[in-house]
Amino acid sequence: MFDFSEHSHKRYNPLSDTWVLCSPHRAKRPWQGQQEQPNTRSIPEYVSDCYLCPGNKRITGDSNPPYSETHIFQNDFPAVRDQQPNYEPDVLLQNTTAEDQDLMNKLFQVQSVRGTARVICFTPKHNMTMAQMKTNEIVPIIRAWRDQILDLSQRENVNYVQFFENKGAVMGCSMPHPHGQVWATEVIPHEPQRELDSLDKYHQKHGSCMLCDYQKLEISLGTRIVDQNDSFIVVVPFWAVWPFETMILSKQHTTSFVQFTEQQTLDLADMLQSLCARYDNLFQTSFPYSMGIHCAPVKEDPNQSLMHFHMHFYPPLLRSATVKKFLVGFEMLGEPQRDLTAEQACDRLKVLSRVHYLEK
């Protein structure tokens, strides 16, 4: 008889219109590959040469104010900028033959992208990640996200605001001080656009919101729910790719922070604290991840009302604090693959305490 915990199978992700190969029996294989070195050093609350700590100078020479909650500033090395020349096709086609130009017009597409990039310091404390914060210390971060949408939506060249956090050196984070980023662009990035397209197709076919239906189903089944409160669920998605990947989904159809009630703000802070503490408790380490928030576009869009507020967490650790998952080989050339199932991952996360292991 087929057993999801033993036999290979594929699972479909309706949000991204992709598949993931699940190979649960591979979790038993021995590992002699690369192992990360966990950071066991004691980290102080303030570091004099940190570019993000209060009062310190950044690389540009500007000084941070003596902030006490969150602090937001323009990224010193932004990926997108407000002002730049418009792209003209002749730039790409110059000094080429007519034959090459014909092929280039068929194969090469270029879009100029304007926007702005900012940094959000989550806390003045160099050693305080969300996993160790109290719920009331996370609330200012959520309000900062909301305020950024309200501010940036007024700009002519901003249609989408993408919030994200890369936590940990293994995720490419260049600054250890707890912070996230805001990239606001005039075009909707590929990932949220793909989700919007999928949400639209589902709505046209079924007459309902995909993520409204999905969170109701997950609550009913209960097998992949890590935690929940009145406003949000934390779930290991049925189609998860990363070993301990999770989503935070609003129970009500909310498209953006702008629509949040005060209770929803408090409840999201509650779920962020719960999830991040469980992550750290899993391998008793500062758990690395990439986190991103998907909200509705800030300008009028045909699918704007279809977006259902959610957050993605993509953590790389697989077996321990030192062994991470690599998306290589078949996963780069064929399709994503995972070893343990979403249900197995959830079972390991939901039994963990939301009290951080360093506080016990």
Sheet holding 115-121, edge to edge: 71-74, 115-121, 179-185, 160-167, 289-294, 310-314, 246-250, 232-235, 225-228
Q: Name the burial class of residue 205, with classes exposed (0-12), middle (13-18) and buried (19+) by CB atoms within 10 angstroms of its CB.
A: exposed
- H/E element, 246: strand 246-250
The first and second tokens of residue 85, run together, are 């020349």
Q: How many CA atoms lie within 13 A of 156 on its CB side?
A: 2
For residue 71, report the phi and psi dihedrals to the nearest 5 degrees: -140, 130
- Residue from 71, 126, 177, 179 carrying the catalytic annotation: 179
Distance CA 196, CA 16 (A): 9
The first and second tokens of residue 355, run together, are 């009290």
Confirm whether 179 is a catalytic residue.
yes
Strand 225-228 and strand 232-235: pairing?
Answer: antiparallel
Distance CA 315, CA 246 (A): 9
DSSP state of 41: S
Distance CA 17, CA 163 (A): 22
Q: Please say whether the beta carbons of 115 and 184 come within 8 A.
A: yes
- CB neighbours of residue 273 within 10 Å: 22
CA 313 to chain centre: 5
Question: Would you name the residues annotated as active-site residues?
Answer: 179
